Amino acid sequence: MLDVLIVGAGPNGLMLACELALAGVHPVVLERHPAPTGEPRANGLVGQVVRLLDRRGLYTRLSGDSAPPAPQPAFTFGAFPLDLTMLDENPHYVLGVPQAQLEAGLAARAAELGVEVRRGHEVVDLHQGPDAVEVVLADGTRLASRFVVGADGGRSVVRRLAGIDFPGVTNDRSVSRTATVTVPASALDPATGGLLVPGYGVVPPFLHTRTPRGLIAWAPFPGRPAILSTTEWPDVPAGDETPMSLAELRASVARVLGADVPFSASEGAGLLRRLTGGNTRIAARYRDGRVLLVGDAAHVHPAIGGPGLNLGLQDAANLGWKLAATVRGWAPAGLLDTYETERRPVAERVVMSTQAQSALIGPGDDITGLRGLFAELLRKPEVTGHIAALMSGADVAYPADPADPLAGRCAPDVVVHGDGAPVRLAELTRTARPLLLDSTGAYARVAAGWRDRVDVVTGPLEGTAATALLVRPDCFVAWSAGDAGTLRAALTGHFGGPR
């Protein structure tokens, strides 16, 4: 019998597989497609997930940059530009890699860790018992596993077969059109790389630009085809039964801007896509016995602001160590259930953010008036800081001891000064093991009974006022320096009893 069967070899399923393998559990991943589709989806990662990838040693692989990730000076919220240079602490990170490249990087890492990915295997049924889940494949093969995780997207077969409801809202009000295009050099602003549109002005790059008639976005990615997209709210939405054409996008651009933009098809096989409406849904529960959901199988929402991978990959990091601890037998009672209690509120907050942005980009003069007020608010650093923390996920705080100001929050970028060269936290967390950072050496003795599960590093700490930190495998703080009794309680509550 398998320990864990993951259904879906997208970014979330592969990330979870890597997390489990690092924790000593080797899952099997099933994917119905015989090979990666290469279908253009997300164009990059936004938020604190970039720091998470750095803390797993994946940031340099994906970015090609040996330096640690740095916060971005600007971003966008609801088609408003966010000036993040006004913030004393900027939490917003961006990694501009397309989803296909991310999947390839995670697949390579999974292979290094010994994860078995079986492609061309479609799940058609499952039966859950008290000790295992039996999965039935399209070819009649039956597999038994102690746990099954659905990482198979918004139309999750695992979620449906497990009988988990997916309440929420579906609307068909908007029509989005997207294509990879080539634009003549004469139509580009040499200073910004934006689109020069006679009769309108400049459409800036990598931002959403809203007019009373719709939304337009221009993304001239270096080294790959540029993407042009629009969103409109027509009285009668366009049907999806006819293929999208470049002429259709050209007409949409003209309606949104009130002016024409010259462009042609990009070389080679490009993206040409129309999407009508969207879904906002959160699964009724993330766990049903031995079946769990992760990523889009657990929640879907508008893509505006790019929060999807930030949310899904951190779901995987949260679930991974808890599921591994359960499989290996040292999880304290109720640990696996904290996956939902911690991650559901984060999904609800992302839904709130995307719904608010969807309202702010809507058509009409009344929305224009609302945007005027919102623009005034965004000139205040405290408002921009609040929005940036929401967009990046830096405001996530899991339930923890209220007397401990760091517990439940993402660990700061600490540097440990030991006997050798200074070591970044990101270098210490690549094994995904629990970690006690102790600047005094006194707390290490308290943790001696957990040394089979918890690594201890001693030395002066730079980047935090705490004298010691207990860091969970998902890089959230379980405890910051108190007395020996509170450390023992945190160790036991998160990682089970001592040896």
Write the pLDDT tens digit of every residue in 268-314. 667 888 988 888 999 999 999 999 999 999 999 988 888 888 999 99
Positions of CATH 3.30.70.2450 in the chain = 172-278
Quote the tokens at residue 44.
Answer: 């990059």
CA–CA dist 389, 395 (Å, integer)? 5
Q: Mind listing the pLDDT tens digit for each residue in 18-55?
A: 999 999 999 999 999 998 877 767 778 999 999 999 99
For residue 123, the cross-strand partners are: 137
Q: What's the CATH fold of domain 2-167+280-392?
A: FAD/NAD(P)-binding domain (3.50.50)
CB burial readout 397-431, b (16+ within 10 A) else e = ebebbeebebbbbbbbbbbbeeeeeeebbbebbee
For residue 480, is pLDDT > 80?
yes
Residue with structure tokens 């006022």?
A: 465
The pLDDT tens digits for 148-162 are 999 999 999 999 999
Q: How confident is the model at residue 429 (pLDDT cuts 50, 70, 90)?
A: very high
What residues does CATH 3.50.50.60 cover in the chain?
A: 2-167+280-392
- Note the pLDDT of residue 209: 92
Query: Is beta strand 287-288 parallel, antiparallel or unpaired with respect to 291-293?
Result: antiparallel
Contact between residue 17 and residue 5 where contact means Cβ atoms under 8 Å apart: no
pLDDT at 238 over 70: no
Q: Sign (positive/negative) of CA torsion 125, 128, 134, 135?
A: positive
Report, as an integer, the average pLDDT of 386-415.
95
How far is residue 89's CA from residue 389's CA, in Å, rounded to a whole number? 10
Instruction: Work out the pLDDT band at 236, boundaries 50, 70, 90.
Output: low
The two counts, helices (H) then strands (E), for the chain are 13, 28
Chain mean pLDDT for the chain? 93
The CA-atom distances, in angstroms, between 31 and each of 11, 289, 320 are 12, 22, 19
Hey, how many other C-beta atoms are within 10 angstroms of the C-beta on 250?
A: 19
**Range(s) within the chain of domains with CATH label 3.40.30.120:** 409-495
CATH topology of domain 172-278: Alpha-Beta Plaits (3.30.70)
d(CA 416, CA 422): 6
**Residue whose pair of structure tokens reads 């409406």 in the numeric block:** 277
Which residues on neighbouring strands pair with residue 169, listed in sequence order? 280
Residue with tokens 């990009």: 266
CA-to-CA dists, residue 361 to 211, 231, 276, 280, angstroms:
8, 9, 16, 17
Q: Taking the model in full, what pTM does it have?
A: 0.94
- CA–CA gap between residue 288 and residue 150 (Å, rounded): 11
Looking at 265-307, list the stretches that DSSP marks H as alpha helix, in order from N- to C-terminal side.
Answer: none
Q: Strands 28-31 and 2-7: what pairing?
A: parallel
pLDDT for 255 beyond 90: yes
Cα(326)–Cα(25) distance, integer angstroms: 10
| CATH 3.40.50.2300, domain 409-495, yes or no | no
CA–CA distances in Å: residue 353 to residues 92, 171, 212, 248, 434? 15, 17, 21, 30, 32
CB atoms under 10 Å from CB of 366, counted, come to: 10
Mapped onto helix, strand or coil, the DSSP state of residue 206 is coil
pLDDT band at 468 (very low <50, low <70, confident <90, very high): very high
141 or 223, which is more confident: 141
Average pLDDT over residues 243-249: 91
For residues 345 and 392, what is the distance between their CA atoms, to the nearest angstrom?
A: 15
Give the model confidence (pLDDT) of 332-342 as tens digits: 999 999 999 99
User: For position 173, what pLDDT does the model report?
Assistant: 81
3-state helix, strand, coil in the chain (%, to 5): 30, 25, 40
Distances (CA, A) of 362 to 82, 173, 213, 229, 235: 19, 10, 8, 16, 13
CA 328 and chain centroid, separation? 27
> Alpha-carbon distance 87 to 394, whole Å?
14
